[in-house]
Structure 1
Amino acid sequence: MKEKGRFLKKYRGNECLNCGVPLDIVDRYCNHCGQINTNKRLSLKDFFNEFFASIFSYDSRLRHTILALLFKPGKISKEYIEGKRVKYANPFRFYLSVSIIFFIINGLFIDFDGFRTEIEDQVTEGKKTFEEIKEAVPIDSIRQEIRKTEDLSEEDLALINKKLLDIEGLSSLSAKKTESKKATYYSQEEINNMNIFEKGYKLFPMYEDYHDRTGEKSAHRALADLKHEKSRLNRYIYHRVLKTNEIEENYGQEFFEFIFNKLPFIIFFFLPFFALSIWLLYIRRSFNYMEHLIFTFHTQTMFFIIIGFSILISKIANLNAFFGVAMLAFLFYLYKAMRKFYNQGRAKTIVKFLLVNVLFFILATLGSVLTIVGSIFIF
């Protein structure tokens, strides 16, 4: 390699400037701390040369990693656990990099505002249709006429009344909702005698009713008006009321954006549990948990790469069916990766492949529920 800039021999010293270890003139780097052996003052040109050199150096590992992932399923995981790691990127760091890029690109194509507008338009159209039905069908007049009818049994009257309530639809639901919002108000002394669970389900409807009546958005002013302590729990519950109203007003747009922005880290913490399920599935094999985890990170990284490209192609070429093709491609890839990594026959691999997918969907469902519930408390 041709030496230039700060790597020239004329700039090398006999001692590392970082840790003080003695060096020879032929040493380009300190064998103790790894710093460059040079006395040359850093210039802008040297800085950018070393910056791009480090990128191309990483690019070599990046190229080997991507090629192995794309064209040799399971090979990179197998070689990594066997100790061939220098030419490959760290699986955990590489997964995080790819997942963040995937969600950034995917976020560019997801129109949360468009979804909210579409739902809002559907609700508006539904209300308009309902009002038209109410005008066309005078329900109150029909009820009065039915009451005058003498030859109808009690069962017939009940059935007709039920049908009329179904026609009323939104009006009936609205009445029930208004009725259900009648809340009991508690003094601070009564609150102090409640346990933590009682406070949760009794304070929320009370604060919600207060907010609906007053529109107060300041927890401090609301608690002062109610003569409640400005404790952390009271303020937290009132803030939950405000957030719940915001979700209803914008049809959940900000809430789902919040969850979407956290997905890369949620999935990252979810994968170790998935790796644990694979470890239990292959418990009779000699692989330890960390080796299963490495395989899991590699296959999940490949999932993001395949699905990411499918989304780009679908949006650019307007081919919605391409996403389904990409999912099938990934499933085939996963089967091949399992076959290569665990080195088992076709029959056993197919059975475990099916079990792995069942476990994945169970854990994904559980993870989704926990994510939504957790997000409600921290959003």
Structure 2
Amino acid sequence: MSHGKIREDKTCLNCGHTVEERFCPHCGQENIEPKQPFHYLFTHFIEDFTHYDGQFWKTIKYLLFNPGKLTKEYLAGKRQLYVAPVKLYIFISFITFLVPALIPKAHESEKAEKISHIERTEKIEEQKEATNKILDEFQKKGLFSKETVSNAKKIADSIQIKDSVQEKSVLNDGDVFEKTFSDNTTFMDAHNLKEYDSLYAKDEGFFHTLSRPMAKKVFELKESGFTKAQIKEKYIETILHTIPKALFVYLPIFAFFLWIFHNKKRWWYFDHGIFTLHYFSFLLLSTLIYIVINRIGNLLPDYTIFTLLFSLINVALFFYISLYFFIAHYRTYESKKRVSIVKGSILFIINFIGLLIMLIILMYISLIMLH
């Protein structure tokens, strides 16, 4: 509840009607002094979202742990007790990609080590060439026989190869993307856009039409001096910031499929829209929980117990997210269990494919829009 000072004048500043208590009965505006202390800006902002009476936290609790509850309550007309669906979605979208930015990323030293891997490889090659030159000089001067020089080169090569393998072992399995976007980047066997066009000049198919903008962007980033780590970070950040927009675009499609599979007289398209807003808000909040859990996991020591614990949490979260839709669907639409399971399964598969296609399009656009 707001802590703004109430005006002595009972005339509403907004509509001119008489205000007997705190809020105008005609327009709903709070009859408080228009000028407030500076801190009021911040406290009012927090109150708008959290409503110290518990509205916000009650909404979040039901959203996470009581699938379908918010939708049923809202459609039943109980709308002052909870945050409005659109406002909830926008707010969760905001915090989902604000909070992770506040959590420090781990393994910065490892990233630096991986980035410098190419430089160390180049030094190994330089050392190899220098060693071979010295051995060749010794052979010319008659200090070593040809056979001795050949054996020495083999021994030197084996040592350098071993060194190189050890350097590469620093890269873990999650660095496939970074290897692709290294300083020696190739895209479909091409090292630059000119070479790419030369290799695929005769290919005018649909795949080439889609892949050329990707190749162009990859080589532009390479020529601009971006490191593989920077490109990876920018790419993931772009995808994460675009997910709420993509879900919002897909929202009416999701609601449309719900409308097709349910009684048109009992359930309006509006009702399906409310269900979809709540469900997508849950998906975004789950995404936030997943990111935060894994960021925290990366900050902890690399012990087996921690790895096992966070793996179990991720598996549990995955299954809960998968089951959430079926539970929410059953509770909201109140159909028989078998009917609900069949409809829910069909809808889940259709929308899973739809969201997957949306994600692929999102990844494609995110790559070609990097700058």
Fold shared per TM-score above 0.5:
yes
Query: Hey, what does 1:87 align to over in structure 2?
Result: 81
The alpha-carbon distance between structure 1 residues 31 and 250, as it changes in their structure 2 partners (threshold 3 A), is: same
Query: Hey, what does 2:259 align to over in structure 1?
Result: 279
Q: Kindly indicate whether the alpha-carbon contact (under 8 Å) linking 2:247 and 2:280 is maintained by their aligned counterparts in 1.
A: no
Answer with 332-341 or 297-306: which moved more.
297-306
Query: Hey, what does 2:6 align to over in structure 1?
Result: 7
**Equivalent position to 1:181, from 188, 194, 199:** 194
Query: Hey, what does 1:42 align to over in structure 2?
Result: 35
Q: Is 1:305 the equivalent of 2:285?
A: yes
Query: Hey, what does 2:175 align to over in structure 1?
Result: none
Any gaps of 5 or more consecutive residues in structure 2? 129-152, 155-183, 199-205, 301-305
Any gaps of 5 or more consecutive residues in structure 1? 137-170, 186-196, 209-236
CA shift, 1:291, in A, is 1.5
Q: Supply the distance in 2 between the matched residues of 1:72 and 1:247 (Cα, whole angstroms).
A: 49
Question: For residues 1-379 of structure 1, what are the structure 2 equivalents within 5 Å?
Answer: 6-7=5-6, 11-13=8-10, 15-19=11-15, 21-23=16-18, 26-37=20-31, 42-44=35-37, 47=40, 51=44, 57=51, 59-107=53-101, 108=103, 177=190, 181=194, 242-243=220-221, 245-246=223-224, 249-250=227-228, 252-253=231-232, 254-282=234-262, 286-313=266-293, 315-316=296-297, 318=306, 319-320=309-310, 321-379=312-370
The alpha-carbon distance between structure 1 residues 303 and 5, as it changes in their structure 2 partners (threshold 3 A), is: closer
The alpha-carbon distance between structure 1 residues 66 and 294, as it changes in their structure 2 partners (threshold 3 A), is: same
**Higher gyration radius (CA):** 1
Answer with 308-317 or 261-270: which moved more.
308-317
Q: Supply the distance in 2 between the matched residues of 1:364 and 1:125 (Cα, whole angstroms).
A: 42
Q: Supply the distance in 2 between the matched residues of 1:118 and 1:282 (Cα, whole angstroms).
A: 56
The alpha-carbon distance between structure 1 residues 18 and 378, as it changes in their structure 2 partners (threshold 3 A), is: same
CA shift, 1:340, in A, is 0.6
CA shift, 1:262, in A, is 2.2
Q: Percent of aligned pairs with the same residue?
A: 23
CA shift, 1:339, in A, is 0.8
Q: Supply the distance in 2 between the matched residues of 1:250 and 1:5 (Cα, whole angstroms).
A: 52
- The residue type paired with residue 375 of structure 1 is S
Q: Kindly indicate whether the alpha-carbon contact (under 8 Å) linking 1:62 and 1:88 is maintained by their aligned counterparts in 2.
A: yes
CA shift, 1:81, in A, is 1.9
The alpha-carbon distance between structure 1 residues 325 and 284, as it changes in their structure 2 partners (threshold 3 A), is: same
Instruction: Name the SS for the 2:28 alignment partner.
Output: coil
CA shift, 1:122, in A, is 7.9
Structure 2 length as normaliser, TM-score? 0.60
- The residue type paired with residue 262 of structure 1 is T
Q: Supply the distance in 2 between the matched residues of 1:128 and 1:46 (Cα, whole angstroms).
A: 59
Q: Kindly indicate whether the alpha-carbon contact (under 8 Å) linking 1:116 and 1:250 is maintained by their aligned counterparts in 2.
A: no
Q: Kindly indicate whether the alpha-carbon contact (under 8 Å) linking 1:307 and 1:323 is maintained by their aligned counterparts in 2.
A: no
Q: Kindly indicate whether the alpha-carbon contact (under 8 Å) linking 1:307 and 1:326 is maintained by their aligned counterparts in 2.
A: no
- Note the alpha carbon deviations across 1:124-153, whole angstroms, 9 max, x for none: 899999999xx87xxxxxxxxxxxxxxxxx
Q: Supply the distance in 2 between the matched residues of 1:35 and 1:307 (Cα, whole angstroms).
A: 36
Q: Supply the distance in 2 between the matched residues of 1:249 and 1:98 (Cα, whole angstroms).
A: 32
Q: Supply the distance in 1 between the matched residues of 2:39 and 2:97 (Cα, whole angstroms).
A: 35
CA shift, 1:243, in A, is 3.8
Q: Supply the distance in 2 between the matched residues of 1:360 and 1:119 (Cα, whole angstroms).
A: 39
Cα RMSD for the two superposed structures: 4.8
Instruction: Name the SS for the 2:54 alignment partner.
Output: helix
- Note the alpha carbon deviations across 1:225-275, whole angstroms, 9 max, x for none: xxxxxxxxxxxx8x8863464598526322333222322222222233222
Q: Supply the distance in 1 between the matched residues of 2:38 and 2:194 (Cα, whole angstroms).
A: 69
Q: Supply the distance in 1 between the matched residues of 2:314 and 2:341 (Cα, whole angstroms).
A: 23
